[in-house]
A and B are shown apart, each in its own frame.
Chain A
């Protein structure tokens, strides 16, 4: 069995089989609920208790639900703008921090804090601040709030790439007559582009399915409701097949974006 041969040399065949079994159980635990959700979204009858045949009618129903379409539009606006802003700022931040990394570790801690601060804390903090400043809340406040944590993730992904960045090409650019701006535009950003795109895709994914912070900073009324908020609202009347279909779609977007992000950035998960 070729798989066994590629295992650690100390592990004999039985140990390896046990490890495979544990791995299988863990994956089952992680992915069976998701598989059930996806499966039920194609269940014609719509009841979670019985499979009555394959159908895409619940997906069709989504397209006729104005609330969902409106929420999807809002989510897209929030995701696109927060991604754009956090990608630009996060990239510049990563480059700046890397150049001045001699100045100590505290800067890094400050930047990455939004990644580990519980969402609920961040959400309450942002809500308090917006209220204190008297800002009228809406999509713009969700965008700004999403930039707060996305910035940290983009910065982390770009910094991971910067670890293996050959700084001598920056000096080479200066030596050949390139100004700071030209060096950034023609050398640094193109070389970092895979990591920048990976960071952007990650930010997009995080923004699309973010619930708590959006919920707190969306303001009153239904005008700036996002998809996760819409799902939360719908679920109060029970899990409908429509929700399963919607959740499947949201998940697909996230999975595709995350997969692309991982493919582009072989540095592993951010923050590592």
Chain B
């Protein structure tokens, strides 16, 4: 038996002939903030629901602290789920919602009262304890749902798109808040999200899911800097792809130039990839491209240049800091030279 805290072993889920989750194995550590990242239909929510006990396993096992929990019904698992829709009980007040799980555990009344008060303090909603869910804002509902799951002090807290319903500003605040709470409570968090930025900011480790399987598991840095597949490279952040052909001299781009790359994945390399922020102006790196600025996108923090080149059908995107942009004032139609180094160049098979 592995010494992992939570061990997902070759888990399968089929709905009729559809493989929603297809042979996923994953070890999650204690106190880890783990993100399951994928597009809709990738199987991430099904996997989460299997951990919570709402879907039976078609195959495989889930082992928590050395004991299988795969056969336990949801109400017997030391695991809680924060629902995407929050699923607050509409007929109960905030305090009653939070107390519900503790009442189900038949804790003494005094302990329930003190624990509810304590968690209301943590989420800063003490003044709303007597409100009903329909009198709360989206952000407040989200925090109540979180408190209701956290107050039970589960071994693992599962969060299904926890920030999906919030507006952008509140979302980035809550990303940090979730991290803080996870440290404070020392609970393992597994969060399902389709938002790659959210996963990068919050998680200690990320698993990218696609078609029911795991594509890559690693730290945010690993995933971003060393994607192992073209899909992962494209899914996380922005990536420029340049078609190449593998020949005797190396990887040859469409204009005949050779692209030097340190990060070669698989065999039969057919496409080179480089992040926009790794491109620098001028002929200063191992790889060079020339093109025309056809568009600029101002983001406040930075400026994205769209550069039409002979290397690919889609424009190459280069990122300039606001400071650089002030300095250089790139104009539409301007001829430009960009370069980058071999260590930042990825090669993927077709």
Contacts and interface: CB of A to CB of B under 8 A. Distances in A.
Contacts of B80: 175-176
Interface stretch (B82-90, B208-216, B234-242, B331-339): B82-90
B83 A171 contact: yes
Interface string A240-268: 00000000000000000000000000000
Given A174-B74, A176-B80, A169 B88 contact: yes
A172 B89 contact: yes
Contacts of A168: 83, 85, 87
Given A168-B83, A171-B54, A173-B100, A179 B75 contact: yes
Contacts of A138: none
A76 interface: no
A175 B81 contact: yes
B73 A174 contact: yes
A176 B105 CA distance: 9
Interface in A144-182: 166, 168-169, 171-179, 182
14 contacts: A166-B85, A166-B87, A169-B89, A175-B52, A175-B54, A175-B75, A175-B149, A176-B100, A176-B149, A176-B152, A177-B104, A177-B152, A178-B75, A182-B104
Contacts, number: 63
B87 A169 contact: yes
B148 interface: yes
A174 B87 contact: no
Interface residues of B, number: 23
A174 B85 contact: no
A265 to B, nearest CB: 16
Interface string A184-215: 00110011010000000000000000000000
Interface in B69-119: 73-76, 80-81, 83, 85, 87-91, 100-101, 104-105
B233 to A, nearest CB: 35
A28 B81 CA distance: 58
A168 B161 CA distance: 14
Contact of A186 (B52, B75, B100): B100
Contact of B83 (A172, A178, A191): A172
Nearest to A189: B91
Given A171-B83, A186-B100, A177 B89 contact: no
Interface residues of A, number: 18
Interface string B137-150: 00000000000110
Nearest to B145: A172
Contacts of B89: 169, 172-173, 187, 191
Contacts of A175: 52-54, 74-75, 80-81, 149
Interface string B27-61: 00000000000000000000000001110000000
A1 B91 CA distance: 41
Closest 8 CB pairs of A and B: A176-B101, A177-B104, A168-B87, A172-B87, A174-B74, A190-B91, A177-B75, A174-B75
A189 to B, nearest CB: 10
Contacts of B85: 166, 168
A195 to B, nearest CB: 13
A171 B54 CA distance: 8
B192 to A, nearest CB: 15
B226 to A, nearest CB: 36
Contacts of A169: 87-90
A165 to B, nearest CB: 10
A182 B91 CA distance: 15
B105 A177 contact: yes
Contacts of A172: 81, 83, 87-89, 148
Contacts of B149: 175-176
Nearest to B73: A174
Given A169-B90, A175-B75, 13 more contacts: A171-B81, A171-B87, A172-B83, A172-B148, A174-B74, A175-B81, A176-B80, A176-B101, A176-B149, A179-B75, A187-B89, A191-B91, A193-B91
